[in-house]
Structure 1
Amino acid sequence: MSASAEILLEVGENLKKEIEKASGNEIFVRAKLNNKKIIKEIEVLARGNSYSAPAVLNDLMAGEMIIHNHPSGDLTPSAADISLAAKMAAREVGFAIINNAADQIYVVVEAGKTKETKKLDQIEILNYFKKEGKLANKLNNFSERKEQLVTAQAIIESFNKSQFNFIEAGTGTGKSFAYLIPALFYNNLNQSRIVISTNTINLQEQLINKDLLTLKRVLDFDFNAVLVKGRNNYLCLRKFKNFEKNFENQELEIKESIFKELKNWKKNTDNGEKTEINFQLKNKVWNQIAAESDLCLKTSCPFYLKCHFMQARKKIYKADILIVNHHLLLSDARVKSDTGSVDKGILPNFNHLIIDEAHNIGEIATNHLGHPLYQPLLDNWLKGLSGEKNSLLAEIRGDIAFALDSDQKRLREILDKKVIPITQKIRDLIPQYFNELKTLISDYKKKKITVDEQLKNSPKWQEFKETAENLAAYLKNNFSFLQIIYENLYLGLELETDESEMKIKSSLNRCQDLIKRVEFNLKAADTDYVFWLESSYYRGSEQVVQKSAPIDAGKFLPDLLWSKLSNLIFTSATITADNSFDYFYRETGIKKAEELKVDSPFDYSKQAELLIPLDFPDPANNNFLKELVINLKKIIIKTKGSTMVLFTSYKMLSYCYNNLKDELEKQGIRILSQSKLSRNFIMQEFKVETKTIIFGTSSFWEGVDLPGDLLKYLIVVKLPFPVPGEPLYKAKEDLLKAEGLNPFYNLALPQAVIKFRQGFGRLIRSKKDSGLIILFDRRVKSRSYGSKFLQSLPKECPVLEIDSKTIIAKIQENGV
């Protein structure tokens, strides 16, 4: 297969030489074309082996072309070629294949028109950050920060040069303005939509309700910024109508007072967002009235013009800046990838992405790329196939009456003798399926066990396998017979039953997804994934979940998301470990990026001290917890409040809480424990009540902003190493070993250092803050790797090894 080689005239010989330099292997080339679509300039971006080469896509611009060779001489594009070509087409970048002699070329996608993107004026933008600039005129207590200027300059270059950037900007740098102002200017110049993704709600609200509102007053041009929420956050008016009808028919178990409040809210709401509800509403009630993608009638819906989600979506498509969270960003990318349709997602096309709080993007991507299977997922699907009034099966039975007389009997027989009995078989099998999983996991002391060859060869797994295969078979049969009804009843006839058609399509899609999950987790054969069983408690009863996750999410992210972008900025206060971005490269799967590391502008020499108790037992010592409780009691009685204690496990937290609660309460001190209270409640109580102490784990290590006197003492119990032996962690270890890398120094240590830095960053939130950090883990001094943690802290921060009496004296000096 070949096409005219005219476009190779000027560069054919150079391409041939480059292929020869690569020993005839594949090369990946960036090509610039002239106005006659002849290639005038080439740049080799990567070299590979005889069948593939790395796809380096960072700096490609509309109107350019990427070229790679097929050493075999067969220019037929592979499935991977076509997939990549489609992604490049969205960026108006061409894609072509050549032979090794570089005299034949097959253009898979033509290059689009070269877009003359306007460059940002660096001087003009940086002036905003100067002490006499426009930000200073609008913000109280504004101060010029060289760190902010350096960060903003890197972001301007990222837009101007279409770069991928890793930017670590310490707490207090002012990085949100540093990326918002260049992004807004770029959009104003080029009308190019920009997406900003964050991890926490706090930062989203800061951006949309504070920073962007400020910039509306500061900038000389207008812009439209929208906070994007998932569809499930919006009220569905059609579902509410059915909900209301079922309540009036007394088919819903919901208090009349709650129903009245819901009706009143529905009548008065402007946006139909769940967050507007100011009364207590259970999730199971909200789910009955919330919008869902596969239960949406779109333009056929009688409420389409008033639809809250569709109104929100119109705003999204008109916006210049979209604020999203990492979960929505990845969910959107995965839906588009799985369906092959841009329309299935929430976000419109975009080529520019800024990821703030980027340090956990790899972990969130890992969660989103898994295929978990748990009983409520199957139970919720079955609810629609019950024989109850208003169920899908009841609606199908009613719709059959509208079919041709000759079809009615056959369709009823399929429904009564196939679908309903098979559905009942599935309903009976589900408890057996999960009970057998529970039996499997009960043979082990751990709550998580890896599904490996040893487990799969065990008698109990073989027994479970038979049940799982039966479940998959019944699901497939159910799908087949529902498909027959769908094709003969809803596609074959013009019935005014859009809702029934939509419901059966939804049921078919969900059934297909369940089949995939059952078979994927049963086979547990994909070597890119780790599979495990996990036992936990859900609403008071034990639940066993089948879980799966990619061992290396970075392997999937470029194809899923990064390859579609012309520029990408990752930023966080904690991306590096041991002053290196190496760990982050692996997490994201990015091969090349511009790097910048900017220290915090805070004066840690005066604002903070890290205290390490002398002669404290090692965490592995049996006396560690006992000594910890004794020391915590002394410290907390002295501080009386303004204190947060960070634990690395709920078990340790609960032990300390149970041994301190009563004695501290006698002193009038209340422990707000994450083992007992929700995170939001703890934060609210801590801000308004004196003499309160936070005991937190997991989520409290980051995203907590308690400036000033709210938080003056931070206690870190242990270094936050990942739990050894966890299935996912073990699989990552094995992968690193297979690559000849040391898992401790390439996985455990970087993870722990980054999380430690996050925890440390909870204390000093402004230039006026001051306080003490007390670390009870002496491994930072006793182990060789301990220096990695201390070196990761701000250079000026004093680190003192002192006895417990001196710690109490330091607390006294600090203002208690």
Structure 2
Amino acid sequence: KNKNQAQMEALKSLRHNFDLDSVHNLSGFDRRLVCVPKFCPRECPGKAGCRYQKYLDVSKKEEVFIQICNHNYLLADAMHRMNEYRPLLADYRALVVDEAHKLPEAASQMDGRSIGREDVQEISYFLNREHKSSEGKRLQDWFNTLSMEIRKDQAGMGDDIAGKENFYFPAKCRSSLEQVRGNLSLMLKRLAGNVPYWIFRRLEEMEELFGWFLKKDTRYVLFLQPDGRGDPVFMAVSREIPRFLQDSLWDRGFPSILTSGTLKAGNGFVRTRQMTGLEKKSRVRECVAESPFCYRENCLLYIPENLKATLKGSREEVEQLAGQIRDLVCSTFGHTLVLFTSYTLMGNVQQLLRDQIPFPMVQVWRNSQEEIARFKKMENAVLFAAGSCWEGVDFPGDMVSSLIIVKLPFAVPDPIHEAQREQYRSLESYIQNVVVPDMQKKLRQGFGRAIRTEQDTCVVSILDHRAAKKGKYRGDVLDALPKCQMAEKIDEVEDFIRSRKVERYYS
């Protein structure tokens, strides 16, 4: 495709540079397409010289003593072993899981199933390569018709119920789903033995997934999730993730270490044990390694005294937050990261502040590595961010000397949390055992963006009235965070920054 010179050079550099995060000027389109395919066909003409396949071969040699992979690959290997398939990793006798708070989420992806427009297009593409273009076209037509009917049904709902009801497959579309599944069954009979097994298996999995929706299979949480275009993706997430982790990893008998900065929620590991399948295991030891950072000296926790409860999404909420952020940015002379839990709220606040802040403003949307890199090159900018920026990004030194957490990061209601709620007798019990611990972990992840080295100094501000002195979650917030100096007035923020920063900080 036509590209400018910078994009072309960035793309070509990937011949030698395997790290996408270190490649600048790569277009978003190219970035999405650079990946390892889900399946590597045996007849692939590039297989003999494929550097990915060569790397896999080298990684299994006997002289390799330590293996490193991501969570999904670890679990895929475990599933292969459980099903007596060929293992993906060389045999190992000890396991260290870093960022272990993400392991249950990875298990949900591995022990579940999903089908959306992109999956259907991919299967159709491979059918075309097998000279089954008419079957590929039929498959896309069936799915497109079903998607249009679902979207039409959802559009007819009132705003007051549409948000929650859109999670679930509409009963009015059942006959259409039955027809698609019936057509798939007939297609499978025609294609049996006429296409590679892995293509056939993907069609079988699609038929099985639609069958689960039709019979409301209780082994899975079944729901619809919109893709980037708003089309429905059929999702099935296992209800037995803790059991899956127990069977696939912990029951194999070798020692394992789970480590992360956010495994502990509040005062204990109860929620982590529950999610990872270790709740009833007796041979589990817990350890808290205290941080080497001196938060009492180098971090000020600021929760304004004058925060008012406002209607979510209202003009009053946006104006109050914008005013607080403006005052903080000016007090700390920029050098600010503002973390949001909602892209909509982030956009509204940034729009209001566009001409009110005398410092450069950078706004990060999804997968905007270039914007983060641009912020890091500036001396005293303000970065508005949400989503993935709550963890995994590093801003050492004076780059971020003011971290603003706009709202407490409670999880957005979704079908998986609805299913978890069914396990508790009361809403209050569910909130205390699931909702609050999950919020505390996410809050610790966000807080971790503030102090990155032993010399860093930072103000962390929480602008949610529920964390204020008489707020409902004040105690839960303080339990989740390390002990810091506390402040309620903006003057105290200014005094702290002046006492910790040298003259060039302001230049």
Which amino acid counterpart does residue 647 of structure 1 have in structure 2? F
Of 779, 787, 807, the match for 2:493: 807
* 2:190 pairs with one of 438, 459, 481: 481
Distance 1:273 1:513, change over 3 A: farther
Give the one of 440, 443, 449 matched to 2:165. Answer: 449
SS in 1 for 2:177: helix
- The 1:619–1:702 alpha-carbon spacing in structure 2 relative to 1, beyond 3 Å, is farther
TM-superposed CA distance for 1:661, in Å, is 1.7
Q: Look up the match of 2:478.
A: 790
**702, 709, 726: which is aligned to 2:414?**
726
Query: Alpha-carbon deviation of 1:439?
Result: 2.1
Who is 1:24 aligned against?
A: none
Mark the CA change 1:737 to 1:749 in structure 2 (over 3 Å): closer, same or farther. same
User: For the residues of structure 2 that align with 1:271 and 1:610, how far apart are their CA atoms?
Assistant: 41
Flag the 1:641–1:260 CA change in 2: closer, same or farther, 3 A: closer
In the superposition, the TM-score normalised over structure 1's length comes to 0.55
Match of 1:672 in 2: 362
Residues 1:529 and 2:220 aligned together: yes
Match of residue 139, structure 2, among 394, 417, 426: 426
Q: Aligned to 2:180, which of 451, 467, 471?
A: 471
Alpha-carbon separation, structure 1, partners of 2:286 and 2:94 = 18
Instruction: Mark the CA change 1:472 to 1:544 in structure 2 (over 3 Å): closer, same or farther.
Output: same
Deviation at 1:366, TM superposition (A): 2.3
For residues 383-402 of structure 1, the aligned pairs below 5 Å read 383-386=125-128, 391-393=129-131
* Structure 2 CA distance for partners of 1:362 and 1:803, relative to 1, 3 Å: same
Does 1:370 find its partner at 2:112? yes
Compared CA separation, residues 629 and 542, structure 1 to 2 (3 A)? same
Task: Give 1:227's aligned residue.
Answer: none
2:51 aligns with one of 290, 304, 308: 308
* Bigger mean CA deviation after superposition, 364-373 or 308-317: 364-373
1:276-324 alpha-carbon deviations (Å, 9 max, x no partner): 9877477679869955534134xxx776553322310122112211122
- 2:301 aligns to what SS in structure 1? strand
Q: Deviations over 1:629-664 (max 9, x none)?
A: 112112213333211111121122111111112332
Shift of 1:329: 2.4
Q: Which amino acid aligns with 2:185?
A: K
* 2:9 pairs with 1:293: no
Instruction: Please state if 1:737 is matched with 2:425.
Output: yes
Distance (whole Å) between structure 1 residues aligned to residue 177 and residue 311 of structure 2: 42
Give TM-score, length-normalised by structure 2.
0.86
The reply on whether 1:556 has 2:272 as its aligned counterpart is no
Shift in CA distance, 351/625, structure 1 to aligned 2, threshold 3 Å: same
Alpha-carbon distance in 2 for matches of 1:263, 1:603: 43
Which of 607, 613, 618 aligns to 2:304? It is: 613
* Partner amino acid, structure 1, of 2:444: R
Paired letter, 1:481: R
CA contact (8 A) 1:447 1:534 kept: no
Q: Secondary structure at the match of 1:695?
A: strand
Quote the offset at 1:261 in angstroms: 7.3
**Greater RCO (CA < 8 Å, at least 6 residues apart):** 2
Q: Within 5 A, what are the aligned runs for 1:594-609?
A: 594-609=285-300
The structure whose Rg is larger is 1
Q: What aligned pairs does 1:231-380 form with structure 2 within 5 A after superposition?
A: 269=15, 280=26, 293-297=39-43, 305-318=48-61, 319-334=64-79, 337=82, 340-343=83-86, 346-380=88-122
- Cα offset, 1:478, TM superposition: 1.7
Are 1:716 and 2:405 an aligned pair? yes
Structure 2 CA distance for aligned equivalents of residues 762 and 698 of structure 1: 13
1:55-77 Cα shifts (integer Å, max 9, x gaps)? xxxxxxxxxxxxxxxxxxxxxxx
Asked if structure 2 preserves the Cα contact closer than 8 Å seen for 1:271 and 1:308, the reply is no
Is residue 392 of structure 2 the alignment partner of residue 700 of structure 1?
Answer: no
Which one has a larger percent strand, Structure 1 or Structure 2? Answer: 1
Cα 1:260–1:706, aligned 2, differ >3 Å: closer, same or farther? Answer: closer
For 2:21 and 2:197, locate their aligned partners in 1 and report how far apart those are by CA, in whole Å: 30
Residue of 338, 346, 353 corresponding to 1:653: 346
Distance in 1 (CA, whole Å) between partners of 2:348 and 2:403 is: 19
Q: Structure 1 residue 473: deviation in Å?
A: 1.9
Q: Distance in 2 between matches of 1:275 and 1:697?
A: 18
1:573 is displaced (CA, Å) by 1.6
- Residue 804 of structure 1 aligns to which amino acid in structure 2? I
Letter in 2 for 1:449: E
Q: CA deviation at 1:469?
A: 1.8
The corresponding residue for 1:219 is none
Q: What residue identity is the alignment partner of 1:512?
A: E
Q: Work out whether residues 302 and 486 of structure 2, in 8 Å CA contact, stay in contact via their aligned partners in 1.
A: yes
Q: CA RMSD in A?
A: 3.4
Letter matched to residue 470 of structure 1: Q
How far did 1:582 drift? Answer: 0.6
1:786 partner letter:
R
Paired residue secondary structure (2:319): helix
Aligned counterpart, 1:435: 148
Residue of structure 2 in register with 1:55 after alignment: none
Q: Secondary structure at the match of 1:595?
A: coil
- Conserved in 2, the CA contact under 8 Å of 1:577 and 1:583? yes
1:518 paired to 2:210: yes
Q: Deviations over 1:464-506 (max 9, x none)?
A: 222222222222222222224x3xxxxxxxxxxxxxxxx6333
**Partners of 1:289 and 1:755 in 2: CA distance:** 28
Q: Is contact 2:223–2:236 with CA below 8 Å preserved after alignment?
A: yes
- Post-superposition offset of 1:566: 0.6
Contact 1:448 1:535 in 2 (8 A): no
Task: Report the residue type matching 2:301 in the other structure.
Answer: L
Decide whether aligned partners of structure 1 residues 552 and 783 sit closer, same or farther in structure 2, where only a CA change above 3 A counts: farther
Quote how far apart the aligned CAs of 1:789 are. Answer: 1.8
Report SS of the residue matched to 2:288.
strand
Cα gap change, 1:577/1:429 in structure 2, threshold over 3 Å: closer, same or farther? same
Q: Is the 8 A contact 1:711 1:763 kept in 2?
A: yes
Tell me which of 442, 453, 471 is aligned to 1:755.
Answer: 442
Matched pairs, number: 491
| Gap change, CA 1:606 and 1:286, over 3 Å in 2 | closer
Q: Secondary structure at the match of 1:569?
A: strand
Q: Which runs of 5+ in 2 are unaligned?
A: none
SS at match of 2:300: strand
CA contact (8 A) 1:612 1:775 kept: yes
